[in-house]
Chains A and B, each alone.
Chain A
């Protein structure tokens, strides 16, 4: 299908594309060289998709394109036209966290949080295609997501726990849980 285009006074062409993001359909006008990460952040205000390098190295801008994790700084918005995109904002449904998010929270797998959205999406994609991965499989799946804070120790632990349905660690003790039992 050919996109509708308009050309401005300087001769720059813009394309009308449709992005299906987290189940919502958005019609946006983009230049041919517009980067998906920028369109998500600047046009749709989905700033949970982070920018860390704009070179496809850090994985902070990971989104799911048709369920597969991609660095959205390496994808043209045009390439995503008509395809299904999941960003971090679409992972929790009606305030209910995904198992990966829940485990990341409970296992303290988050520090500065800048890599977290990309990490969650890479892990979620893994668990969707392989619900019971081995630890090396988890490490491989998130190896494109760089984290500078955690040494990945709690992240790997959380993803393994999520795959095994152990969303609450043994040493977890919120004051709420204690108060309720008292």
Chain B
């Protein structure tokens, strides 16, 4: 890997316009729901109206008789192999056969000539249920005597984790101050604006699926597995995708049922989830109960942490085992301490399955930890900023759970937001009802291990130069879902080749055309896909220089290529254009191709669960927020947010800040507004955007985000991640700003106006009672 470091580059480091921008601003960009194929049918899935019920019978005869209905399928027509994302716990079927496990569980599907016939047909399918008592509260789900969501998982325990590092008991015994707090996190949903859609079609025994996916590779793997196909006979094509945030990482009923419907009808079948169905499919953030105990010395130096968590997994595992491990794995990232204990139970409940949402597993534990740390600081009379700077992680260190940290500027991020927000001044001159809070975050730059066990590389790429040298096409399995990977990877390809960005074309995320990449999750593409792309570009550059060497009769060592010009280092004026050299290469040697590949080094410890949280590099960041609380109503006005990030070399500054803004916006929503709520029958109360409140343009406060000039020695040109990490500090930052403003802590997310108002009311009543007692 290259360790060269320059201050200025021709292509990377600049805010070039997005390569997909023109199609997006003109409406030409085609998303899966915009695609049509000749003879195409429309499909819909019938879902369960009950949270927990036994299926007595299913009668599809009336639906089948309806004109326009081409196929009706149930569990009798599909493979019975269980699937999921975390391989240790495959527990989901295409259709339920014995019982349904949440409101929205899949029961049957139809394919019809048009969408409206689908809805009529679904109503004609008669399912007889025996309703069973449902498990809706994850905090009691694992008690003795509760109904079982899956008979084979006793006490509804889906995942159980017990990890211990260092000497926890000794550290607690020696601590000057020990404190325990408990916090609750809520269920949230990714809510991409584009609904999940899949179009399936067969050509003999080959299945092609167009899908709004974050990972064509995992779709290909899991779909091939389910139907007993060779991976080479499953082609996944990703059209434009309208956001994912973790919710489009695994195949859904749309792909599985769609493939069966397409096979039975020999016609392409398009299926989509409407907004309410998206909420039911979910795979959003787990609700968690988080008890944190710390032991610190008298200066506030953290000696030991015990995190004792429970999480609400919902009816199926999805990627939830990883979520459960992540919740504890990333807690020791931003602060240094040697003794750490992590206990976790992930419970099955009769609610929609939870999975990986932006910041995977980490934001809620971070909220709990950062809120707790402020409580500790208050106990000891230390400024919240100072206690963080005292404990901040340094570069070239290792966490107690064996994650090796190379570049790390945690302390500098804190100092930066202190300065940006005018922290000290605000702390000195406190205005009633107003408060500031600080919090930190960190995230993996790609996971060290793939989701299913394989020795395949994590990323690969190739580049083909057009015959006449006037264009270069990058082929990558990397997945553009809005974050800008197509643009950033084209910048990196052009930089590595010594070529120009405006001549770049890209073909991405089609498993039959593009080389393998694990996809858009774990904030991995700039680093991992980028490393493969850089290697491919350097292979082209090497060939260009060799060809130019022959053309100019100059040694290879005297030549370089930059910005589309191959030139002599020693003799001024001796130069050729990239185009003419590339053309000559084609004439004499055939296609000019470059290829690259990336596999992470072996990372992490040897204990159970050690791979989760490993990464070749970690980002770090800090945020300060200032709020004004209306004591009469509990309303929270956000006056400003300041963010500083250590994300290595920045490839495209505007795209990067866009990631910070978006992550902060999501974190803000999770802090104060967003919550998927359920009634006492397990039905979602607010499965629509009018009632699941995320921020509009009018709610968004002013944001200042800054990037520190940092360099990750293992990353391509020194780059690491930003997209997910920026979500991690936000929840804790809000919690702490509200705490500072009103002097009492709200211990559960979201920190709604009502909860704030109730906390203030209790505080007033307590103060009055004290006063009365005295008088």
Residue interface mask B1-39, A partner, CB < 8 A = 1: 000000000110011111011111111111101100000
Residue interface mask B555-588, A partner, CB < 8 A = 1: 0000000011000000000000000000000000
Residue interface mask B53-90, A partner, CB < 8 A = 1: 00000000000000000000000000000000000000
Do the beta carbons of A101 and B25 come within 8 Å of each other?
A: yes
Among residues of B, the one whose C-beta sits closest to the C-beta of A182 is B563
Do the beta carbons of B241 and A175 come within 8 Å of each other?
A: no
| Chain B residues whose C-beta falls within 8 Å of the C-beta of A41 in the assembled complex | 34
Tell me, rounded to whole Å, the shortest Cβ–Cβ distance linking A152 to chain B: 4
8 Å CB contact of A143 from B690, B694, B697: B697
The yes or no answer to B640 lying at the interface (CB within 8 A) is: no
Do the beta carbons of A97 and B25 come within 8 Å of each other?
A: yes
Q: Which residues of chain A in 126-182 are interfacial with respect to chain B, using CB atoms and an 8 Å cutoff?
A: 136, 138-140, 142-156, 169, 171-176, 178-179, 182
| Chain A residues whose C-beta falls within 8 Å of the C-beta of B652 in the assembled complex | 108
Do the beta carbons of B26 and A150 come within 8 Å of each other?
A: no
The yes or no answer to A1 lying at the interface (CB within 8 A) is: no
The yes or no answer to B655 lying at the interface (CB within 8 A) is: yes
| Chain B residues whose C-beta falls within 8 Å of the C-beta of A173 in the assembled complex | 14-16
A15 to B29, CA, bound (A): 31
Do the beta carbons of B26 and A88 come within 8 Å of each other?
A: yes
From known contacts A112-B194, A151-B703, A174-B17, infer whether A104 and B243 are also in contact, taking CB-CB under 8 Å. no
The yes or no answer to B700 lying at the interface (CB within 8 A) is: yes
Among residues of A, the one whose C-beta sits closest to the C-beta of B665 is A151
Do the beta carbons of A60 and B193 come within 8 Å of each other?
A: yes
The yes or no answer to A53 lying at the interface (CB within 8 A) is: yes
How many of B's residues come within 8 Å of A, CB to CB? 65
A58 to B194, CA, bound (A): 10
Residue interface mask A41-59, B partner, CB < 8 A = 1: 1000011111111110110
A101 to B24, CA, bound (A): 9
The yes or no answer to B275 lying at the interface (CB within 8 A) is: yes
Interface centre among A108, A117, A155 (most CB of B within 10 A): A108
A151 to B700, CA, bound (A): 7
A174 to B661, CA, bound (A): 23
Do the beta carbons of B500 and A175 come within 8 Å of each other?
A: yes
Do the beta carbons of B24 and A113 come within 8 Å of each other?
A: yes
The yes or no answer to B433 lying at the interface (CB within 8 A) is: no
Q: Which residues of chain B in 688-730 are interfacial with respect to chain A, using CB atoms and an 8 Å cutoff?
A: 688-690, 694-698, 700, 703
8 Å CB contact of B26 from A55, A97, A106: A97
Among residues of A, the one whose C-beta sits closest to the C-beta of B13 is A173
Do the beta carbons of B563 and A112 come within 8 Å of each other?
A: no
| Chain A residues whose C-beta falls within 8 Å of the C-beta of B482 in the assembled complex | 111-114, 149
A39 to B500, CA, bound (A): 42
Do the beta carbons of B242 and A112 come within 8 Å of each other?
A: yes
The yes or no answer to B481 lying at the interface (CB within 8 A) is: yes
| Chain B residues whose C-beta falls within 8 Å of the C-beta of A91 in the assembled complex | 26-27
The yes or no answer to B501 lying at the interface (CB within 8 A) is: yes
A139 to B701, CA, bound (A): 11
Do the beta carbons of A114 and B21 come within 8 Å of each other?
A: no
8 Å CB contact of B25 from A52, A116, A178: A116
The yes or no answer to A6 lying at the interface (CB within 8 A) is: no
Do the beta carbons of A92 and B665 come within 8 Å of each other?
A: no
A114 to B196, CA, bound (A): 12
Do the beta carbons of A114 and B194 come within 8 Å of each other?
A: yes
8 Å CB contact of B689 from A46, A57, A107: A57
Q: Report the interface size class on chain A.
A: 35 or more
| Chain B residues whose C-beta falls within 8 Å of the C-beta of A79 in the assembled complex | none
Do the beta carbons of B654 and A108 come within 8 Å of each other?
A: yes
A144 to B33, CA, bound (A): 22
Classify the secondary structure of A's interface with B: loop
Tell me, rounded to whole Å, the shortest Cβ–Cβ distance linking B576 to chain A: 16
The yes or no answer to B662 lying at the interface (CB within 8 A) is: yes
8 Å CB contact of B16 from A57, A145, A175: A175
From known contacts A57-B689, A110-B21, A151-B664, infer whether A49 and B27 are also in contact, taking CB-CB under 8 Å. yes
Residue interface mask A86-115, B partner, CB < 8 A = 1: 011101100001000100111110111111
Among residues of B, the one whose C-beta sits closest to the C-beta of A145 is B697
Among residues of B, the one whose C-beta sits closest to the C-beta of A108 is B654
| Chain A residues whose C-beta falls within 8 Å of the C-beta of B240 in the assembled complex | 112-113
A97 to B242, CA, bound (A): 22
From known contacts A146-B696, A175-B563, infer whether A112 and B34 are also in contact, taking CB-CB under 8 Å. no
Do the beta carbons of A174 and B21 come within 8 Å of each other?
A: no
Among residues of B, the one whose C-beta sits closest to the C-beta of A110 is B24
Q: Which residues of chain B in 223-248 are interfacial with respect to chain A, using CB atoms and an 8 Å cutoff?
A: 240-243, 245
| Chain B residues whose C-beta falls within 8 Å of the C-beta of A54 in the assembled complex | 274-275
A51 to B14, CA, bound (A): 34
A49 to B24, CA, bound (A): 11
Do the beta carbons of A50 and B665 come within 8 Å of each other?
A: no
Interface centre among B27, B28, B657 (most CB of A within 10 A): B27
Do the beta carbons of B481 and A48 come within 8 Å of each other?
A: no
Do the beta carbons of A148 and B193 come within 8 Å of each other?
A: yes
Do the beta carbons of B243 and A114 come within 8 Å of each other?
A: yes
Among residues of B, the one whose C-beta sits closest to the C-beta of A105 is B21
Do the beta carbons of A175 and B15 come within 8 Å of each other?
A: no
The yes or no answer to B494 lying at the interface (CB within 8 A) is: yes
| Chain B residues whose C-beta falls within 8 Å of the C-beta of A105 in the assembled complex | 17-18, 21-22, 25
A119 to B446, CA, bound (A): 32
From known contacts A51-B195, A105-B17, A105-B18, infer whether A114 and B31 are also in contact, taking CB-CB under 8 Å. yes
The yes or no answer to B622 lying at the interface (CB within 8 A) is: no
The yes or no answer to A120 lying at the interface (CB within 8 A) is: yes
From known contacts A57-B689, A112-B243, A178-B10, infer whether A172 and B481 are also in contact, taking CB-CB under 8 Å. no
Tell me, rounded to whole Å, the shortest Cβ–Cβ distance linking A157 to chain B: 10
Do the beta carbons of B28 and A48 come within 8 Å of each other?
A: yes
Q: Which residues of chain B in 726-774 are interfacial with respect to chain A, using CB atoms and an 8 Å cutoff?
A: none
